[in-house]
């Protein structure tokens, strides 16, 4: 019935697992990967993560964001349930919006060594202003490094309408 054989799912320990533990302090080790079966080809995988929450590092007040993660895999791919648990682990962790986005990208680079990756966070406002950090990366010394520069240069030419409602 399934296109993935059991041995192709070996690194995947969390998906469908009962009794999942939810960690609410920053836990990069929870991330799991599995093999890319189409590494002969460049293609994108995007994760839409509208349920991200962390704390303000100075006041401790909760922050909320939608995070969009897109990458071109090389040999490895991030398993989505482990990504969910990893993002949950920011729940009681304090950091600036800009730092969170860079940390998430760094951890995913370390896990997967992707050809290309980008992370975009869109936070809810505090005091009438909201902050949206965007960071990206292409494997140094490859064409993906130029791709990262190209995508940054063309980033968000059309800011979405925000009216705080």
Residues 6+ apart with CB under 8 A from 101: 67, 119, 120, 121, 133, 134, 135
Instruction: Please state the separation of Cα 42 from the chain's center in Å.
Output: 19
- Read off the tokens for 161: 């309408």
* Buried/exposed 66-100: b ≥16 CB within 10 Å, e otherwise: ebbbbbbbbebbbbebbbbbbbbbbbebbbebeeb
Please indicate whether residue 63 is annotated as part of the active site.
yes
122 binds a second copy (CB under 8 A): yes
160 annotated to bind ligand: no
55 binds, among a second copy, Ca ion, none (CB under 5 to 8 A by kind): a second copy
Tell the smallest beta-carbon distance from residue 120 to a second copy (Å): 7
Shortest distance, position 110 Cβ to a second copy, whole Å: 15
Alpha carbon of residue 93 to chain centroid: 16
Footprint (CB under 8 A) of a second copy, residues 42-101:
42-51, 53, 55-62, 64, 66, 68, 70, 72, 77, 80-81, 83-84, 87-88, 91-96, 98-101
Q: By C-beta, is 43 or 64 nearer to Ca ion?
A: 64
Specify whether the CB–CB gap between 46 and 69 falls below 8 A. yes
Per-residue interface string for the shown chain with Ca ion, residues 119-158, x marking contact by CB under 5 A: ------xxxx------------------------------
**Out of Ca ion, a second copy, none, which partner does residue 135 contact, by CB within 5 to 8 A per kind?**
a second copy
Active site residues: 56, 63
């Amino acid at each position: 019935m399934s296109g993935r054989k059991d041995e192709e799912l070996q690194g995947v320990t969390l998906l469908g697992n009962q009794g999942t533990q939810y960690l609410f302090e920053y836990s990069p080790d929870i991330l799991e990967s599995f093999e890319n079966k189409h590494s002969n080809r460049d293609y994108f995988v995007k994760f839409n993560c509208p349920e991200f929450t962390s704390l303000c590092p100075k006041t401790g007040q909760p922050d909320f964001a939608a995070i969009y993660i897109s990458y071109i895999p090389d040999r490895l791919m991030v398993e989505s349930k482990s990504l969910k648990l990893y993002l949950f682990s920011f729940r009681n962790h304090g950091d600036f919006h800009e730092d969170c986005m860079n940390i998430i990208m760094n951890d995913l680079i370390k896990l997967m060594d992707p050809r290309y990756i980008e992370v975009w966070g869109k936070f809810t406002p505090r005091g009438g202003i909201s902050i949206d950090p965007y960071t990206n990366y292409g494997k140094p010394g490859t064409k993906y490094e130029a791709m990262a520069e190209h995508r940054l240069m063309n980033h968000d030419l059309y800011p979405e309408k925000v009216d705080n409602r």
